[in-house]
Amino acid sequence: MKLSVIIPSYQRPLDLKRCLTAIEGQIRPADEVLVVARNGDRETLEHVSARRETMKSLAAIRVDTPGLIAALNRGIGAATGDILVFTDDDAEAQPDWLELIETGLTDSGVGAVGGRDWLQFSPEIHQYLSPK
C-alpha cells in the first residue's frame, strides 16, 4: 500500500520543520508527503523546496483559496496514495505513527483509523483544563 501524508500549512515554517522531521523519522516511511501551502506563503514554499534535497518524497502543493478545507481538498486531489493520512503542521508524529495506521488498515472491515492527541499545555493553562 502506498501512504500519502497531507499537511496543510500556512505561515508556520518552524512548526512545519518539526513536523517534517518527525515524518522523516518514521519506522514505516511515507511514500509521499504533500505540504499544501498558499501561493503567497513564500517562507513555507521555500522551506519545502529546500527540504526536498534530503526528503525525496516531499512535494509542495499550492492552493489559492484560503482556509483549511480548501487546503485539505487540494491535498486529497493531488495525493496518489492508497491510504491518505492527515496531520497538522504543528504536530510531531511518534515514530511508529504510519506503521500503526497501515497495520490498522490491513483488516478489510476497517475504513478509517484515528488516534489519541497528546496535548501539551503550560502549567498556567493546565489548571483550567484539569477536572476539579
Using one digit for the tens of pLDDT, what is the confidence trace for 98-127?
Answer: 999 999 888 778 777 776 655 666 666 655
Expressed in percent and rounded to 5, the helix, strand and coil fractions of the chain are 35, 15, 45
- Dump pLDDT digits (tens) for 55-92: 999 999 999 999 999 999 999 999 999 999 999 999 99
Q: pTM for the full model?
A: 0.84
User: Which residues form the domain of 43?
Assistant: 3-129
Q: Report the domain count for the chain.
A: 1
C-alpha–C-alpha distance, residues 20 and 3, integer Å: 15
- Dump pLDDT digits (tens) for 1-59: 899 999 999 999 999 999 999 999 999 999 999 999 999 999 999 999 999 999 999 99
Q: Of how many residues is the chain composed?
A: 132
Band of residue 128 on the pLDDT scale cut at 50, 70, 90: low
Could you give the strand order of the β-sheet that contains 83-86, starting from the edge strand earlier in sequence?
58-63, 32-38, 3-8, 83-86
Contact 87, 19 (CB under 8 A): yes
The pLDDT assigned to 126 comes to 56
CATH (domain of 110): 3.90.550.10
> In the chain, at which residue ranges do the beta strands (DSSP E only) sit?
3-8, 32-38, 58-63, 83-86
